[in-house]
Amino acid sequence: MAETELIYGRNPVVEVAKFRRVHRLWLTESTYQKLKGRLKVERSRLYIVSKGEISAIAGRPDHQGAVAEVERFSTTPLDSLLTLRSGIVLALDGITDPRNLGAIIRSAVLLGAAGITIPEKGSSDITPVVCHASAGGTEHIAIAKVESILHTINLFKSRGFTTACAELPGPDTVSISEFEPPEKIILTMGSEEGLRARVRAGSDVVLSIPQRTDFDSFNVSVAASILLWELTKKRPA
């Protein structure tokens, strides 16, 4: 496995440079002028190049004139989340779309979630695409990789966490607008194909978001944002 990866995009590059070692950084002149007050990178590692050169390095067009070769993302040990005395932890069960994963991470950071768990298999890894979609939010929240989401949920339950999951409104779901969040809770969001039955069965509460129509469901990243907002607004800042 390569020890470095290429992060692209202005904000992701700025945020990653705060927390990971930057080996090389390529910027267009115009991007350098916009970011030079925010970047903490040794001048010897910085290269001012043309847009075409950066496009060739990034291998994609959405780089915004900024690409950095940095050390690979490091996950957080699960124990650091299991020992939390309060907070909201997200368990993401098989989110395979990296843009959805990045959007969820971005919302989790902005809304004050304590951490995120993702499975080692059947899920997007924390890739440069995820970092870009999160606007660099990957660097601002604890993310743990686990072998089994089901086993992880049970571990949190044994540590006093309320286990919750999300599903379409139904006779046995609790509207998020009516739910009073406990001191610490782990919320499982299912994959783009839906929530697994075993995850649902192992949850203390099944939450839902009120809908005006049943024509479709919320995108998983949108649903995560709504649920996190409702949970956090009822908690002390």
Residue 53, classified by CB atoms within 10 Å of its CB into exposed (0-12), middle (13-18) or buried (19+), is middle
Where do you find CATH 3.40.1280.10 in the chain? Answer: 79-233
The pLDDT of residue 130 is above 60: yes
Instruction: Give residue 237's pLDDT.
Output: 59
CATH tag for 79-233 (out of 2.40.30.10, 3.40.1280.10, 3.40.50.620, 3.40.50.10860):
3.40.1280.10
pLDDT for residue 193 = 73
* pLDDT on residue 58: 92
What tens digit of pLDDT does each residue of 150-164 get?
999 999 999 999 999
pLDDT digits (tens, 9 = 90+) for 20-52: 999 999 999 999 999 988 998 888 899 999 999
Share of the chain above pLDDT 70, in %: 98
pLDDT greater than 80 at residue 17: yes
The CA–CA distances, whole Å, from 230 to 7, 40, 113, 149, 195 equal 32, 36, 12, 23, 20
Based on the number of CB atoms within 10 Å of its own CB, is 157 exposed (0-12), middle (13-18) or buried (19 or more)?
middle
* Range(s) within the chain of domains with CATH label 3.30.1330: 4-71
Question: What's the average model confidence in pLDDT over 163-184?
Answer: 93
Give me the pLDDT at residue 192, please: 67
Answer yes or no: CATH 3.30.1330 is held by domain 4-71: yes
| Phi and psi, residue 18, nearest 5° | -75, -25
Q: For the beta carbon of residue 74, count every other beta carbon within 10 angstroms.
A: 9
pLDDT at 73 over 80: yes
Strand partners, 143: 116
Cα Rg for the chain, rounded, in angstroms? Answer: 19
Mean pLDDT rounded to a whole number for the chain: 93
pLDDT at 53: 95
Identify which has the larger pLDDT, 228 or 194.
Answer: 228
Is the confidence at residue 195, as pLDDT, over 90? Answer: no
Tell how many helices (H) and how many strands (E) occur in the chain. 9, 11
**Predicted pLDDT of residue 156:** 97
More confident residue, 216 or 232: 232
> pTM of this prediction?
0.93
Task: Give 73's DSSP letter.
Answer: P
DSSP state of 67: E
